[in-house]
Amino acid sequence: MSVLLTGGAGYIGSHTALALIEAGEKVVVADNLCNASREAIRRVEEMTGTEIPFYEADVADTAAMNALFEREEIESVIHFAGLKAVGESVEKPLLYYRNNLDSTLTLLETMERFGVRRLVFSSSATVYRDGNAPFSEDSPLSGSCPYGRSKLMIEQIIGDVCAASALSAVILRYFNPVGAHPSGRIGEDPSGVPANLMPYISQTASGKRQALTVFGGDYPTRDGTGERDYLHICDLAEGHLSALRYCREHEGAEVFNLGRGESVTVLELIRAWNRANDMDIPYVLGPRREGDVAVTYANADKAKKMLHWEARRSVEDMCRDAWNWQKQNPDGYR
């Protein structure tokens, strides 16, 4: 029996594929490669000495999903597939709603048709309403952009399906996953100019970008810059294994935050990078980025108590591993 990873060739999916295989799970990947490279899965195969059945398919394609579920013995699904860029979702809301909702609906229908009853879903901390961090799972919700609202809608759909059927689901709200596998073989490979902080720092370190612009120095935070809950990608990958185990032993739908439960400012992250990699990242202070919130971090107690999962890696580990990946793969998987 296998675990199907939709979107498994992406950043979080590829690291999770590795963690699952290392824990003895069998993995199948379905990805349409709209934001990923086949090379990521090839490298996971090389690292684990395991062949991973790979389906280049749109999860919203019913015929393709039927064919996959007929061919493979799927026991559970981790649903990573989705579009995730906040800014793009504001410009192209229909693309985001169509892709993220359709793929989930087709997946849920296919799972029901084939009697597959366990689902782990990638949600996001972006579903929390701004202003009352640390967020616990019962904090007020409100999607702040079409991307966030698509996640919120999917959480509700999954809840409804669990209530009406034998589906058992774990919804994971990730905070800010960063870094790469310490081997430097797999990592984050954004296309174009990175929209997120850590890949921008990495590319500044490698000389691809001249200097980092810090978006806002006048937030009501420790040093005026935005605070986030950065989480090592390998800790996050391991969180999926815990979620899968939980899902196998429990009925219904349950939501968990995956974060470290600690906030780090932009300037603190730059300093951690400089310490970990013996560098001096050039930066300039710029205006706030539209849509940004001042502070986001998790109350991570529920995952600790019920999933027996807790992030172990430090901010320096994240910075060191991000740089190791960047150095070894200056052009990502290309």
- Binding interface with ligand UFG (CB under 6 A): 84, 86, 124-126, 175-176, 195-197, 200, 212-215, 226, 228, 266, 289, 292, 296
Residues 247-306 that bind ligand NAD (CB under 6 A): none
Would you say 79 or 117 has its CB closer to ligand NAD? Answer: 79
Number of residues that bind ligand NAD (CB under 6 A): 28
How many C-beta atoms lie closer than 10 Å to residue 35's C-beta?
Answer: 18
Looking at residue 290, the DSSP 8-state letter turns out to be: T
Using alpha carbons, select from 15, 49, 33, 25 the residue that is nearest to residue 321.
Answer: 15
The whole-angstrom separation of Cα 211 and Cα 204 is: 6
- Least distance CB 99 / ligand NAD (angstroms): 5
Looking at residue 175, the DSSP 8-state letter turns out to be: -
Would you say 145 or 212 has its CB closer to ligand NAD? Answer: 145
The whole-angstrom separation of Cα 167 and Cα 253 is: 8
Would you say 64 or 198 has its CB closer to ligand UFG? Answer: 198
Handedness of CA 56, 61, 62, 63 (dihedral sign): negative
The whole-angstrom separation of Cα 211 and Cα 103 is: 38
The yes or no reply on residue 104 touching ligand NAD (CB under 6 A) is no
- Least distance CB 273 / ligand UFG (angstroms): 12
State the first-to-last Cα distance of the chain, in angstroms, to the nearest integer.
33
Beta bridge partners of 253: 169
> Does residue 172 come out as left (phi exceeding 0), alpha (psi in the -120 to 50 range) or beta?
beta
Would you say 195 or 306 has its CB closer to ligand UFG? Answer: 195
Mask for 173-212, x = binds ligand NAD (CB under 6 A): -x-xx-----------------------------------
**Selected catalytic residue, list 147, 219, 246, 297:** 147
How many C-beta atoms lie closer than 10 Å to residue 328's C-beta?
Answer: 12
Decide if 147 is catalytic: yes
Closest residue to ligand UFG, based on beta-carbon distance = 226
Tokens at 74, concatenated:
């799927």
- Least distance CB 278 / ligand NAD (angstroms): 27
Would you say 139 or 196 has its CB closer to ligand UFG? Answer: 196
Residues 43-102 that bind ligand NAD (CB under 6 A): 58-60, 80-84, 99
Beta bridge partners of 255: 171
The whole-angstrom separation of Cα 124 and Cα 256 is: 10
Would you say 127 or 270 has its CB closer to ligand NAD? Answer: 127
The whole-angstrom separation of Cα 23 and Cα 100 is: 29
The whole-angstrom separation of Cα 194 and Cα 190 is: 6
Tokens at 39, concatenated:
């090379």
The whole-angstrom separation of Cα 284 and Cα 119 is: 43
With CB cut-offs between 5 and 8 Å by kind, which of ligand UFG, ligand NAD, none does residue 16 bind?
A: none
With CB cut-offs between 5 and 8 Å by kind, which of ligand NAD, ligand UFG, none does residue 226 bind?
A: ligand UFG
With CB cut-offs between 5 and 8 Å by kind, which of ligand UFG, ligand NAD, none does residue 261 bind?
A: none
With CB cut-offs between 5 and 8 Å by kind, which of ligand UFG, ligand NAD, none does residue 122 bind?
A: ligand NAD
- Least distance CB 291 / ligand UFG (angstroms): 8
Closest residue to ligand NAD, based on beta-carbon distance = 10
Summarize as ranges the residues that interact with ligand NAD (CB under 6 A): 6-7, 9-13, 31-36, 58-60, 80-84, 99, 103, 122, 124, 174, 176-177
Active site residues: 147
